[in-house]
C-alpha cells in the first residue's frame, strides 16, 4: 500500500523519524530473542520508510529494492524530503511560484473577461447583420448596432496605433495616422450616449440567451423546462462545471499516479523476468552437456534395438517367402535333380581327367605331332562339311 502523509510537514518529520530508527536498527543485539524482535521492527520500519520516500518523490524512477540496497541514499532522500515537496521544489521557491501563479490567474481572468465581452459584442453585431438580411429591423435598433460597430472599430484601430511601453515613442505611425485622427471617426456624441445606455440591457439579453443555450447543451433534457426554472438551474451551472472539472483533474491525477505505479511495476516485472531468463540460461548451460550425453546413449540403444527388430523381421519375411515358394514335393524334386546333376558332374570330371591325360600324352610327342593333329582336325571338319552338303543334296534330289 502506498503511504500518503496528511501534510508535507508531518511527512518530513515521519521520514526523519523513520530514517533515525532505521540507522539504529542496523546494530545487531547480542540477545537472540531481542535481536529477532529488533530485526522484525527494523523490517517494518524499513518498509514504512521506503513507502514514505517513494510517496515523497513520485517523479524519481526508484524502487524499494534500490532503497534497500542503498541505505545511505535512503537516509539522504529522507533528509532531503524536509526541504522539498513532492514536485521537487523548495518551500521559498514554492511560495514564489504560488504567488506568480495567482498573479497569472488574475491577469488571465482579466484578459478572459475582456475577450469574452469583446466576442459577445461581435456576436451581437453578427446576429444583427443576419436579422437585417432576413427581416425588417427598427431604425433605433439599427442605429444602436451601427454605433456600437463603429465604436468597436475605432477602439480597435486606436489600440493598434497606440505603441506599447516597450517600443520607441518616436517611431512612425501606421499609414501616418495618429489616435486623435482616428477618434474623429467616432459617431455622434448623442448616439454614443444612447448606445451606452442601451448596451447593458442588450448585452444581458445576449449573454442570458447564450447561457441558456449552453445549459441546453449541457443538459438536453432541460430544454423544455420553463425559463424561470432554467434561470435557477443556470445559477448552479458554474458550481457543477467546477465540480466536474475538479473531478476530472482528480481522475487525471489518479491516472498519472497509476501510470507511474504501472511503469514502476513494469520495470520490476522486467527485472524479475530478466533474472528468470538468466537462471534458465545457466541451467541450460550447466546441465545440457550431461543430459545430452544420457540422451544420446538412450537414442543409440533405441536405434540398436530398432535395427535388430528390423533385421529379425527381414529374416522372418525371407523364411516365409522360402516356405511359400518351396513345398515338400518341389524340395524332393530339387533333391533328385541335384543328385542327377552331381552324378553327371562327377562323370564329366572323370571324362575331363581322361581327356587331360590323353592330351598330356599327345603333348609328349612334340611339335610334329601337333601339326598332324591340327591337320587331322581340319580334315575332320572338311569331311563333316562334305557329309552335310551331300545330305542336303540327297534331300533336294529326293524332292
Reported as half-sphere exposure (CB side, CA atoms, 13 A), residue 241 has a value of: 11
How far is it, in rounded angstroms, from Cα 41 to Cα 346? 114
Residue 390 DSSP symbol: H
Q: Are 197 and 140 in contact (CB under 8 A)?
A: no
Reported as half-sphere exposure (CB side, CA atoms, 13 A), residue 101 has a value of: 6
C-alpha cell at 110: 482579466
C-alpha cell at 190: 448623442
How far is it, in rounded angstroms, from Cα 261 to Cα 3? 13
The CA-CA-CA angle for residues 163, 164, 170, to 5°, reads 45
Q: How many CB atoms lie within 10 A of CB 71?
A: 15
In 135-188, which residue ranges form alpha helices assigned H by DSSP?
139-161, 179-183
How far is it, in rounded angstroms, from Cα 297 to Cα 36? 53
What is the residue-level pLDDT of the chain in tens, covering all 399 positions?
333 333 334 443 443 444 444 344 344 443 443 344 445 455 555 555 566 666 666 666 677 777 777 778 777 777 777 777 767 677 788 888 889 999 999 999 898 888 888 888 888 888 888 888 888 878 888 888 888 888 888 888 877 776 554 455 555 566 667 777 777 777 888 888 888 888 888 888 888 888 778 777 777 776 677 777 777 777 777 788 888 889 999 999 999 999 988 998 998 899 999 999 998 888 777 777 677 778 888 999 999 999 999 999 999 999 888 888 878 888 888 889 999 999 999 999 999 998 888 777 777 777 777 777 788 888 989 999 999 988 888 888 776
Beta bridge mates, 90: 84
Q: Are 52 and 4 in contact (CB under 8 A)?
A: no
C-alpha distances out from residue 104 to 97, 101, 119, Å: 10, 5, 22
How distant is the alpha carbon of residue 134 from its chain centre? 59
C-alpha cell at 210: 447564450
Long-range residue pairs from 45-51, CB within 8 A, at least 24 positions apart, any chain:
45/18, 45/21, 46/22, 48/3, 48/18, 49/15, 49/18, 49/19, 49/22, 49/74, 49/78, 50/74, 51/1, 51/2, 51/3
The CA-CA-CA angle for residues 297, 301, 305, to 5°, reads 170
pTM over 0.85: no
Residue carrying the nine cell digits 443576419: 130
Amino acid at each position: 500500500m502506498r503511504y500518503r502523509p496528511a501534510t508535507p510537514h508531518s511527512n518530513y518529520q515521519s521520514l526523519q523519524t523513520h530514517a533515525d530508527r532505521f540507522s539504529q536498527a542496523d546494530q545487531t543485539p547480542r540477545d537472540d530473542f531481542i535481536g529477532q524482535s529488533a530485526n522484525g521492527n527494523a523490517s517494518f520500519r524499513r518498509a514504512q520508510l521506503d513507502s514514505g520516500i517513494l510517496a515523497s518523490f513520485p517523479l524519481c524512477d526508484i524502487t524499494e529494492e534500490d532503497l534497500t540496497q542503498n541505505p545511505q541514499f535512503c537516509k539522504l532522500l529522507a533528509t532531503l524530503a524536509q526541504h522539498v515537496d513532492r514536485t521537487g521544489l523548495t518551500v521559498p521557491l514554492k511560495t514564489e511560484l504560488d504567488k506568480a501563479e495567482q498573479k497569472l490567474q488574475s491577469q488571465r481572468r482579466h484578459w478572459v473577461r475582456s475577450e469574452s465581452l469583446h466576442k459577445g459584442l461581435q456576436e451581437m453585431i453578427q446576429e444583427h447583420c443576419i436579422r437585417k438580411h432576413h427581416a425588417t429591423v427598427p431604425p433605433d435598433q439599427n442605429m444602436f448596432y451601427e454605433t456600437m460597430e463603429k465604436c468597436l472599430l475605432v477602439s480597435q484601430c486606436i489600440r493598434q496605433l497606440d505603441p506599447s511601453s516597450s517600443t520607441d515613442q518616436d517611431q512612425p505611425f501606421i499609414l501616418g495616422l495618429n489616435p486623435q485622427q482616428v477618434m474623429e471617426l467616432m459617431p455622434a456624441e448623442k448616439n454614443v450616449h444612447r448606445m451606452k445606455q442601451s448596451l447593458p440591457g442588450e448585452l444581458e439579453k445576449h449573454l442570458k440567451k447564450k447561457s441558456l443555450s449552453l445549459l441546453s447543451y449541457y443538459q438536453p433534457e432541460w430544454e423544455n423546462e420553463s425559463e424561470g426554472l432554467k434561470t435557477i438551474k443556470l445559477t448552479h451551472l458554474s458550481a457543477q462545471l467546477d465540480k466536474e472539472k475538479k473531478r476530472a483533474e482528480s481522475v487525471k491525477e489518479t491516472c498519472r499516479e497509476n501510470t507511474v505505479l504501472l511503469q514502476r511495476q513494469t520495470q520490476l516485472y522486467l527485472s524479475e523476468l530478466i533474472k528468470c531468463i538468466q537462471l534458465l540460461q545457466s541451467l541450460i548451460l550447466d546441465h545440457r552437456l550431461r543430459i545430452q550425453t544420457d540422451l544420446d546413449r538412450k537414442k543409440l540403444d533405441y536405434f540398436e534395438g530398432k535395427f535388430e527388430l528390423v533385421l529379425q523381421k527381414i529374416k522372418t519375411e525371407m523364411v516365409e517367402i522360402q516356405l511359400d515358394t518351396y513345398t515338400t514335393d518341389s524340395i524332393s524334386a530339387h533333391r533328385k535333380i541335384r543328385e542327377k546333376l552331381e552324378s553327371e558332374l562327377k562323370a564329366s570330371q572323370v571324362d575331363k581327367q581322361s581327356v587331360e591325360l590323353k592330351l598330356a600324352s599327345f603333348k609328349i610327342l612334340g611339335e610334329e605331332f601337333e601339326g598332324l593333329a591340327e591337320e587331322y582336325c581340319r580334315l575332320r571338319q572338311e569331311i563333316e562339311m562334305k557329309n552335310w552338303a551331300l545330305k542336303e543334296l540327297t534331300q533336294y534330289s529326293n524332292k
